[in-house]
Amino acid sequence: MPPLRTLLALPVSLALLGLAPTGSVAAGPPPSDTVLSRFVGRGKAPAAALLAHEGSVSRFAHAEPEAEAEAATRPDAASGTAAPAPADAIRPTDRFRAGSITKTFIAAVVLQLAAEHRLFLSDSVDSHLPGLVRGAGTDGRALTLRALLTHTSGLADFTAVTRGSVPLTPVQAVRIALTLPQSRLRSTGGTPIPAPRGLFAYSNTNYVLLGMIVEQVTGRSYAAEAMRRLITPLRLTGTSFPGSRRSLPEPHGRAYAADGSDVTDLDPRVAGAAGELVTTLADLNRFYAALLGGDLLPPRQLREMLDTRTAHGSYGMGLYPVKLPCGTTVWGHNGRIAGSYVRTAATPDGRRVLTFRVNTDATADPDLEPALLAAEFCPRTS
């Protein structure tokens, strides 16, 4: 398995799990560790760190006393506002909800089926789900699987109504989407503009439909196919599709909404094939390394996955590129679901992968994510 690095962030604690990076780099602490220390010093990041190599703990720093004292004075869950998990509860093996990172798994399954000629990306949605997609100016006979994979279908996002808090069947999610106007993009000025079919507009509805199509083609659920094709072969022992199970498998920490309420227990049907996955940091690193390294898809399908031309540079198929200030481009996905924000990024060959998460809906400091990506993937000089 190629060298990987992982980090885990919690409200008052932070964990890193990593292997030595590839190539020749300057001596000193790992670059992302240095960045995290800088953010801790500015009071904008967690205040405890766990560093491990190949799964064995080599250093643990407790939270700063000020951070521990602050956490101790916060109301507990019984009062309606949950206090963060204590620093000593940090475990790099914790299970957590990965949100839209699920889309990379679904896209990989669909592309494997395409490689087996069991479906074609040029297939219409209607050829697999006849009559389902009709309404709001949308016709499944004119939509292709490629449009779903690349978010260029124009289908509205059902979560605009449910806000990710209402458990739904896939059919219910699609029907809600069809009551809405077509997806909208935001211009650079922030003004909403229509996004007709053929333009990129991110919509969870696309991947709910892809999950249904996987089941139509194979006779098994998208979860069963992902388990058989991806999770079991890669030995992703901490990864699962929980279906309707509200609790997280052990071990796990707590998850908090933006208002501080405890949302650890959550019905995954709020997201379905667009965001149901439960996983671990190490499993995500292993999965993205194998995917981008060519272990899961034939070369043609992997090229399709990384081709952003259909989405005009914004998105491939279950992956998107980010060009860093140094000129390096990394590939991956983020995931946001109640109580969890996750980000995985990797070099195009999968030889270096970085994953981090926070156990709330977003990072407290918007500068943290770009700083970590730049520190990990931009070259350092001696």
Q: How far apart are CA 102 and CA 318, in angstroms?
A: 8
Residue 72 belongs to some domain of the structure: no
Residue 29 belongs to some domain of the structure: no
Helices 281-292 & 102-115 angle (0-180, nearest 10): 30
Residue 382 belongs to some domain of the structure: no
User: Of 363, 345, 356, 347, which is closest to residue 104 (Cα–Cα)?
Assistant: 345
Residue 71 belongs to some domain of the structure: no
pLDDT of residue 141: 95
Residue 31 belongs to some domain of the structure: no
pLDDT of residue 373: 86
According to the 3-state scheme, what is the secondary structure of the chain? CCCCEEEEEECCEEEEEECCCCCCCCCCCCHHHHHHHHHHHCCCCCCCEEEEECCEEEEEECCCHHHHHHHHCCCCHHHCCCCCCCHHHCCCCCEEECHHHHHHHHHHHHHHHHHCCCCCCCCEHHHHCCCCCEECCEEHHHCEHHHHHCCCCCCCCCHHHHCCCCCCCHHHHHHHHCCCCCCEEECCCCCEEECCCCCCCCCHHHHHHHHHHHHHHHCCCHHHHHHHHHHCCCCCCCCECCCCCCCCCCCECCCECCCCCECCCCCHHHCHHHCCCEECHHHHHHHHHHHHCCCCCCHHHHHHHCCCCCCCCCCCCCCEEEECCCCCEEEEEEEEECCEEEEEEECCCCCCEEEEEECCCCCCCCCHHHHHHHHHHCCCCC
Q: How far is CA 290 from CA 91, 241, 298, in A?
A: 24, 19, 12
Burial 282-298 (b: 16+ CB within 10 A, else e): bbbbbbbbbbbbeebbe
Residue 297 belongs to some domain of the structure: yes
As for how many domains the chain has, the answer is 1
Residue 229 belongs to some domain of the structure: yes
pLDDT of residue 35: 63
Over its C-alpha atoms, the chain yields an Rg (Å, rounded) of 21
Range of the domain at 163: 95-363
Going residue by residue through the chain, which has 382 residues, state the pLDDT in tens, using 9 for 90 and above: 545 656 554 443 333 333 333 333 344 445 666 665 665 544 443 323 333 323 333 233 233 333 333 443 343 433 334 444 443 345 678 899 999 999 999 999 999 999 999 999 999 999 999 999 998 778 999 999 999 999 999 999 999 999 999 999 999 999 999 998 876 443 334 444 444 557 899 999 999 999 999 999 999 999 999 999 999 999 999 999 999 999 999 999 888 888 878 899 999 999 999 999 999 888 898 999 999 999 999 999 999 999 999 999 999 999 999 999 999 999 999 999 998 888 899 999 998 888 888 788 877 778 888 988 888 888 775 4
Residue 141 belongs to some domain of the structure: yes
Q: What is the CATH number of the domain that holds 140?
A: 3.40.710.10
Q: How far apart are CA 208 and CA 201, in angstroms?
A: 15
Contacts within 8 Å (CB) and 24+ apart, 87-90: 87/12, 87/13, 87/47, 87/48, 87/62, 87/63, 88/62, 89/13, 89/253, 90/8, 90/10, 90/13, 90/14, 90/15, 90/48, 90/50, 90/253
pLDDT of residue 323: 97
Asked if 338 contacts 255 with a C-beta cutoff of 8 angstroms, the reply is yes
pLDDT of residue 316: 98
